[in-house]
Amino acid sequence: MKRSEINLAISRAKQMMEEYSWTLPIWGYWTKKEYEQNPKMKKYCKDHQMGWDVTDFGKGLFAQQGITLFCIRNGIQGNNEDKPYAEKLLFMEDNQEIPYHSHKVKLEDIINRGGGDLALEFVEVDDEAQELSNDISVLVDGQVSTIHPHQPLILKRGQSVTVERNIYHKFYAVKGTGMVMAGEVSQVNDDNNDNYFLETVGRFSQIEEDEEAIHPLWNEI
């Protein structure tokens, strides 16, 4: 993935935040040099996986399968003295998706914060990673909704769904409805150890440095 693609994705996310009057913590606007000048905050963000995150899952098809995220707050999994929760913003362009994945530790709510329609699809698998055909019950703003495997659940602005542990799910901006700004409120997030994908993907992209970064990603701090 090219750095220019990452810079454009971050710029697009910042524009959408301005449209919906969202403001990041001050370090969300820092350059790499500014992180270097604030070593305590740099270490805290790196240890807590907080900051910008842009990925094409190693496929080189960012416009079709990719996502731009910003982790605002987070604890550290396994550290009982740290905060037990996390919050993220997630940005998907029209028809852009994040592939099927699940979490063993993290329970999360996904919220449509603004923009177009947000779709989620769910599936359960057995111990051999074979898909099951049973229906899946999810909570949509506290109300039970029963859906079939791979049946799109459409969230309009303001709606949210609770994603249970070990349930594989993908989500995407519904084609023709525009870019989506989603939110994630969850237990502690660990992108190094608590993402399980149905297909072989790379969680973090290899980056071609074709221009200078406007903001470093959290794993580059």
Give the pLDDT confidence score for residue 129 in this predicted structure: 86
pLDDT tens per residue across span 91-124: 999 999 999 999 999 999 999 999 999 999 999 9
Asked if 180 and 92 touch (Cβ cutoff 8 Å), the reply is yes
Range of the domain at 187: 3-220
Give the position of tokens 């750095």: 3
Give the pLDDT confidence score for residue 126 in this predicted structure: 94
**Beta-carbon contacts of residue 193 (< 8 Å; ≥ 6 apart):** 77
**Distance between CA atoms of residues 95 and 115, nearest Å:** 13
Give the pLDDT confidence score for residue 197 in this predicted structure: 95
The enclosing domain of 99 has a CATH number of 2.60.120.10
* Spans in the chain with pLDDT lower than 50: none
pTM of the model: 0.96
Give the position of tokens 């051999």: 128
Query: What residue type is assigned to position 105 of the chain?
Result: V
Number of structural domains, the chain? 1
**Beta-carbon contacts of residue 62 (< 8 Å; ≥ 6 apart):** 1, 5, 9, 56, 96
**Distance between CA atoms of residues 133 and 67, nearest Å:** 28
Other beta carbons less than 10 A from residue 124's beta carbon: 16
